[in-house]
C-alpha cells in the first residue's frame, strides 16, 4: 500500500493519477493513524513552506512522518514535500521542517535567469539511488520552484543547472526527495515513480 499525504496543500491529484496509471494500491492519508496501513509514503507539495508545515502540524502528522521515516519504509517528498524533509526553510521567515535530511531551504540565486525556475532541465547524476540510476544522467525533468535545498553533497544524488547548481534529487537512506515533479515529467518521470513503488524497507 502506497500512502499519499493529503494535508490540503499539495499537488495530490496529479501524483495520485500518475500512481494509479502505474497500478499502485493507494491510500490518501489525513491522520497519523492512516500511516500504519502504508508500506511506502509520498509527501507532495505546492505552495509556501511555513503554511504547509503548519497544516501538517494541525493534522497531527509531523511526528508521525518522522516516525514513519525512522521505520525504514520508503518515503518520497516531491517539490515542496522534498523541501519539508530538511531542517528549516528561509521562505518568508525561518520555519522548522521535518529534520529528516540535514540542511536548509534557501532562495534560488539564478543570476539573470527568471525565478521561479519553471521548465525542463537535465539531470546530472552524482550517485545512484533506488529511484535514479547512473544511466539516467542527461534525462530531462520538469521543475516549478523558487527555493532550493542547501545541504551537504553527501545527500545530493542528482542536481541540475539553473544559474547555479540546484539539488534535484536528495537521498538519505530510505528518505528521498525530488525537487522536480516526476508526475509531470513524462515517461521518464513515471519510471522514477515506478522504481519508488518497487522499493522495499
114 burial (CB, 10 Å; 0-12 / 13-18 / 19+) is: exposed
Q: Return the active site residues.
A: 79, 181, 183
Residue in 184, 187, 52 with CA at minimum distance from that of residue 118: 184
70 Cα distance to chain centroid = 17
Q: In what order do the strands lie in the sheet with 175-178?
A: 26-29, 2-5, 40-43, 75-78, 175-178, 165-172, 156-161, 124-125
Write down the residue that cell numbers 539573470 correspond to. Answer: 112
Q: What is the three-class DSSP state of 44?
A: coil
Amino acid at each position: 500500500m502506497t500512502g499519499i499525504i493529503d494535508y490540503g496543500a499539495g499537488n495530490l491529484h496529479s501524483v495520485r493519477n500518475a500512481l494509479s496509471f502505474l497500478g499502485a494500491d493507494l491510500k490518501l492519508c489525513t491522520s497519523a493513524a492512516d500511516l500504519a496501513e502504508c508500506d511506502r509514503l509520498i509527501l507532495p507539495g505546492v505552495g509556501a513552506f511555513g503554511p504547509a508545515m503548519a497544516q501538517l502540524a494541525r493534522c497531527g502528522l509531523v511526528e508521525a512522518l518522522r516516525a514513519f521515516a525512522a521505520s525504514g519504509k520508503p518515503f518520497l517528498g516531491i517539490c515542496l514535500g522534498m523541501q519539508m524533509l530538511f531542517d528549516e526553510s528561509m521562505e518568508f521567515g525561518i520555519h522548522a521542517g521535518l529534520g529528516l535530511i540535514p540542511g536548509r531551504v534557501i532562495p534560488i540565486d539564478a543570476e539573470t535567469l527568471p525565478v521561479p525556475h519553471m521548465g525542463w532541465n537535465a539531470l546530472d547524476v552524482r550517485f545512484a539511488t533506488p529511484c535514479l540510476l547512473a544511466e539516467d544522467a542527461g534525462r530531462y525533468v520538469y521543475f516549478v520552484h523558487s527555493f532550493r535545498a542547501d545541504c551537504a553533497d553527501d545527500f545530493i544524488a542528482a542536481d541540475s543547472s539553473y544559474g547555479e547548481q540546484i539539488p534535484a534529487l536528495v537521498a538519505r537512506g530510505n528518505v528521498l526527495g525530488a525537487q522536480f515533479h516526476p508526475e509531470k515529467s513524462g515517461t521518464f518521470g513515471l519510471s522514477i515513480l515506478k522504481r519508488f513503488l518497487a522499493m522495499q524497507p
